[in-house]
Amino acid sequence: MYDRPPLDLGAEDPLAKIALSVRSGSTVLDIGCAVGRLGEVLVQTKGCVVDGIDVDHDAAALAKGVAYRDVFECDIEKTDLGVLLAGRSYDVVVCADILEHLRDPDALLQTIRFALAPQGRLLLSIPNISHAGVILEMFMGEFSYRDRGLLDKTHIRFYTSRSILGTLNRNGYNARIIARIRLNIAMSEFGKEIRASNIPLCLRQALSIGRDSDVYQFVIEAIPSDKGKFIEPAREEWSQLENLLWKEGTNVSVYWRSNKDQFDEHKKLTRVLHLGSSCERLVFPFRKDCNKSSLRLDPGEEEAYLRLHSLVLKTGARDLWKWNGKRETLIHANHHQIRLGSRSVGRFGMGLWVNGSDPWFEIPVGEAIITKADALEVVMSAPVITSDYLYGLEEAVMQRANNE
């Protein structure tokens, strides 16, 4: 018999999120009600009328005793729910962590549509198989079922955000994610094994920016397609997330000074190098009254692995100076908290290992050219591919060893 603690409506818990989404006075069908924690709260705090279904005899008896109007003890995959629920309709049908246990979830979803009142809704929660803990365990060659959790030994279906929304759409629903229950890897059932596995930190970091990488469960609201305007939540949601990720990046700044001054925060231009960019052109135009004899490039604000592809000083459309792509040209310039890749610029640019919060190097060109320039054009990239990150780390470690 499955039991759980009494429901805390303030907790980051899928059942709490579902309870908060049910309107007062609703008629509710709780499929897989267990001992009735959800119905107990809905009846006592919202005045709902709640029916339940559960396969376990003891759980069904307890649910009936706390608050439920009727509790049907049956296996939903071996019962004709159309007959069982004949004459009943519900404002809300709840499937909290149910679909992943079913051989044929489509059949249940199609039946539920006919049990919904004209303005009825389906509320469900579902585990997220794309959680970083699962991915990292697979990276280690494991896929270990457990008594509970994302890889519960009774789970026979697995879903991502896109696949569950697609499943609902295929079965005649419009759906949207209304809550994401997040759980850091370290706090999950995978934490202990992953900490002991020696998985490269860079891989864990790369996964941390993945879509829904820390989402443990999704809470979803769905209505029959013929009852509301159709949207494509999976596509729309991914597009919004891509836009969000694309806005994330590191600030790249150019500082200038005259012979009499020092570099300071009042004399700089800043552009954003976006995370995951393959090649991005950043242009820093100087004001006409800008008194400059030296230039400094700050390629980031925190530890990162970047690639530098080109540096060009321009006046109008004409190139005044262009970096020759050789490591030696930059290594002899004044620099701080930056290690340069051992290779000169090629197809993938030259690696820049930023190993502090104040990285910079001075542009290796004379005052005569700098004073004439009206813009600096920088082409950089910020790869998030693990192999790039590892390559940069290897370069930095080798250089450090050579210097010691």
DSSP string covering 304-356 = EEEEEEEEEEEETTEEEEE--S-HHHHHTS-EESEEE-SSPS-TT-EEEEE-S
pLDDT tens for each residue of 366-375: 999 999 999 9
User: Are residue 239 and residue 261 in the same domain, yes or no?
Assistant: no
Taken in order 26, 27, 29, 33, is the CA torsion positive or negative?
positive
| Residue after which a domain boundary falls, among 190, 217, 246 | 246
Same domain, yes or no: 91 and 214: yes
Place 404 in a pLDDT band, splitting at 50, 70 and 90. Answer: low
Q: Is pLDDT at 236 greater than 80 in this prediction?
A: no
Express each pLDDT in 133-154 by its tens digit. Answer: 999 889 888 999 999 999 999 9
Q: What token pair was written down for 307?
A: 């690639």
**100 plus 237 within the same structural domain:** yes
- Note whether 262 and 396 are same-domain residues: yes
Of 246, 270, 302, which marks where a domain is finished? 246
Instruction: Enumerate the H helices of 171-303 as residue ranges.
Output: 191-195, 201-208, 233-247
- Give domain status of residue 272, yes or no: yes
Q: Is the pLDDT of residue 17 over 70?
A: yes
The Cα–Cα gap between 143 and 155 comes to 13
Exposure class string for 26-51: b at 16+ Cβ within 10 A, else e: bbbbbbbbbbbbbbbbbbeebebbbb
Measured CA to CA, the distance from residue 205 to residue 202 in angstroms comes to: 5
CATH assignment of the domain containing 194: 3.40.50.150
Position 143 in a domain: yes
Shared domain check, 223 and 123 = yes
240 lies in the same domain as 271: no
| Residue 346 domain flag | yes
* Same structural domain, 286 and 204: no
Q: Are residues 324 and 222 in the same domain?
A: no
Tell me if 122 is assigned to some domain.
yes
In contact, 355 and 303? CB cutoff 8 Å: yes
What amino acid occupies position 52?
A: G
Domain assignment present for 351: yes
Mean pLDDT of 102-113: 95
Q: Are residues 285 and 372 in the same domain?
A: yes
| Phi, psi (degrees; rounded to nearest 5) at 141 | 85, 20
For the chain, the domain total comes to 2
Q: Could you tell me if residue 3 is inside a domain? A: no
Domain that holds residue 258: 249-403
**Structure-token match 């400094």, residue found:** 296
In a domain, 7, yes or no: no
| 222 and 258 part of one domain | no
Instruction: Tell me how many degrees the CA angle 174-180-182 measures, rounded to the nearest 5.
Output: 160
- What is the per-residue pLDDT for 304? 76
Asked if 180 and 199 sit in the same domain, the reply is: yes
Distance CA 264, CA 296 (A): 11
What's 313's domain CATH number?
2.60.120
pTM, rounded to two decimals: 0.59
Over residues 272-312, the pLDDT tens digits come to 887 666 788 999 999 888 899 999 999 987 677 888 999 99
Q: Decide: helix, strand or coil at residue 170.
A: helix
* Range in 63-67, 124-128, 139-143, 231-235 with the lowest mean pLDDT: 231-235
Is residue 304 located within the same domain as residue 195?
no
Cα 168 to Cα 88, 162, 233, 390: the distances in Å are 22, 10, 11, 40
pLDDT, averaged across the chain? 85
| Measured distance between the N- and C-terminal CA atoms of the chain, rounded to whole angstroms | 63
Of the candidates 246, 272, 300, which is a domain's last residue? Answer: 246
pLDDT for 198 beyond 80: no
- Does 2 fall in a domain? no
Of 301, 306, 309, 311, which is closest to residue 333 (Cα–Cα)?
A: 311
**How does residue 387 score in pLDDT terms, banded at 50, 70 and 90?**
very low
